[in-house]
A and B are shown apart, each in its own frame.
Chain A
Amino acid sequence: MKTNDVIIQFTAKIVFFIIFFFSIHIFLAGHYTPGGGFVGGLLTSSAIVLLVLAFDLNTVRHVLPINYTYLTAIGLLLALATAAFPMFLGKPFFTHFFDYFNLPLLGKQSLHTAMLFDSGVYLVVVGVTMTIIQTIGEDE
């Protein structure tokens, strides 16, 4: 029997973007409110998992052709690079820097290198979660 899952597929397309943008919001707001790279990454992967549930692994892999192992490695490299960068300036490992910038549209904002480290964490979390789900999912 062929099931017709038009409602879940249609809803998933909309809800995916809601969850994804919320995860980006949580990720960016981590410095001042609860949130950060870890929950942000988990939420993003849950958005992708919703797509996997509504469609199937191969479709999602076709739509998002990402090698999640490489994503994990890139995230780790980004985190290490952020932490190791101060070593070349004669500062201790993991020293962070911040300053205020006048950005177009957004106005005066503070930018902090902890954000880069958090992006590394975000990529690692997405990569690891999706690797686990994909590997178990396609295991016969």
Chain B
Amino acid sequence: MNNFLLLPIIIPFFFGMILMFGQKNLKYQRTFSLLGIGIALISAISLLIKVKNDGIQKVTFGNWPVPFGITMVSDMVSVLLVTTTLLIAFFVVWYGFGSITKERERFFYYPGIMFILTGVNGAFTTGDIFNLFVFFEVLLMASYLLIVLGGEKGQLKGSIKYILINVISSALFVITVAFLYSVVGTLNMADIAVKIAEVNQPGIVTVIAVLFLMVFGLKAAIFPLYFWLPTSYASAPIPVLTLFGALLTKVGIYAITRTYTLFFVHDLSYTHDLLMALAIATIIAGCIGALAYFDIKLIIIYNIVIAVGVILFGVSQMNEASLKGAMFYLVHDMLIKAALFMLIGIIIYITGTSDLRKMGGLMKKYPTLGWFYLIAAFGLAGIPPLSGFVGKLLIAQGGFEAGSMWSSIFILASSLLVLLSVIRIFLYAFWGEEKATTGTVDKKIYKTLFVPTVLLVLITVAYGVGAEWITPFMDDAAKLLYDPSIYIDAVMKED
């Protein structure tokens, strides 16, 4: 029994409610949203240290015994993701001060962000499969608000697609949980894992595993279920896009990782091979998209799809090295995608267009921006000692250990295409002839955009260079994913 692990969920929720008052007072809205995320971030970091020292934390609501109440479990995997989420949200909100329009800020933009954080953190922390659904809905409802807020034509078009897809996938989620409940008769995730192990995963459970892959794959944008993502995401304003790109698909990845390492571990040759095949197809689809477009938003958006494939490939190999790599890469990808979206947001702000062919020669006027973009691009591709390196190395190592020789080589080769796709932005936008820019650049706004972006890029650099200090945390997370009994024992034992 320990309520401390709930603070990263409750604090954004509480501040979201407070921000519903004083809707027109911008100063109040901005101060309190930053303050709320700041406090939540501090509590998440202390929770991270506590989990590192004392092991898995859990609380069952309402003082009920374990399989009967809703259990919230904070293990190393979830606490790492919660901390990263709040860290990114802090910088995105700060960046939003210069980027989001005042009309949007006055119309529940900040409560929307707070509720999305509640949903994301809750989904990472929950230990109950139906509660996971509820938190998915919390974050989706808030994301519907954020994607449509402003009511421009493109946004309306993108959001109707987004809402439609998510309503369908949510309905499928409920159906899948109903199937699972009728087979195992419990909703607590640790208890489900025990019950599935007892019946030794018959065919029906494998079917449910594939259904879960479809549900979470729709949220996480795996091949062939990623079709809605590019156009929907491209319609959102930059800070919202950053938040979505960095957090929302990652919740789907987390859910796949959790279910495929905790529940469905008895028929690996079917479920995990399917996951591997889909992951590789996802990378191919993402690479094609990332190279095909001249729109910088779409290039980075397709890079989300590639990263989804890489992380899930790591999960599908099911050995300690690859799972550790997947965790490393997941946190790296959240940070670097946020940084990249923020950087291209600045480029779009300066040039007034998102078309690569219409921009050029930014290097003369904005050299620091150019070099920071280059660092972020190298980090994304995984050039040592930057942040993407360790994760991809471990994933490839895990792949070789599991005997998937060619697919691991393919993962390594795909890094080249990733690098090519982001370097193209650098070549077109920063080098070459200086082109006339339509946007007028306000020094003060530029500074508000630039400072949080640079700080986030520096954090990703520190994440890569300081991999030595992060490794113990990732080791714990990988052990936990590799051996589900650690999680089950921690949750099921009486305290």
Where the two chains meet, the residues of A that have a C-beta atom closer than 8 Å to any C-beta of B are: 69-70, 72-73, 76-77, 80, 84, 87, 91-96
Rounded to whole Å, the gap between the CB of A132 and the closest CB of chain B is 14
Looking at B12-20, B234-242, B266-274, the stretch in contact with chain A turns out to be B12-20
Q: Residues of B contacting A94 with CB < 8 Å?
A: 61-62
Tell me if B13 and A70 are in contact (CB < 8 A). Answer: no
Q: Residues of B contacting A72 with CB < 8 Å?
A: 20
B60 at the interface (CB under 8 A from A): yes
Among A84, A94, A95, residue most surrounded by chain B Cβ atoms (within 10 Å): A94
Tell me if B60 and A92 are in contact (CB < 8 A). Answer: yes
Q: List 7 A-B contacts (CB under 8 A).
A: A69-B20, A69-B23, A72-B20, A93-B59, A94-B62, A95-B63, A96-B62
Q: Residues of A contacting B62 with CB < 8 Å?
A: 92-96
The secondary-structure label for the interface of chain B is helix
B1 at the interface (CB under 8 A from A): yes
Chain B, interface size category, equals: 10 to 19
Rounded to whole Å, the gap between the CB of B28 and the closest CB of chain A is 14
Q: Residues of B contacting A92 with CB < 8 Å?
A: 1, 3, 59-63
B10 at the interface (CB under 8 A from A): yes
Tell me if B13 and A93 are in contact (CB < 8 A). Answer: no
Bound CA span A87–B72, Å: 14
Where the two chains meet, the residues of B that have a C-beta atom closer than 8 Å to any C-beta of A are: 1, 3, 6, 10, 13-14, 17-18, 20-21, 23, 59-63, 72
Tell me if A87 and B20 are in contact (CB < 8 A). Answer: no
Q: Residues of B contacting A70 with CB < 8 Å?
A: 20-21
Known pairs A80-B14, A94-B61. 12 more at Cβ < 8 A?
A69-B20, A70-B20, A70-B21, A73-B17, A77-B17, A80-B13, A87-B3, A87-B6, A92-B63, A93-B3, A93-B6, A93-B62
| Known pairs A92-B63, A95-B62; A73 contacts B10 (CB<8 A) | no
Bound CA span A51–B60, Å: 44
Q: Residues of B contacting A69 with CB < 8 Å?
A: 20, 23
Bound CA span A93–B4, Å: 10
Bound CA span A76–B111, Å: 13
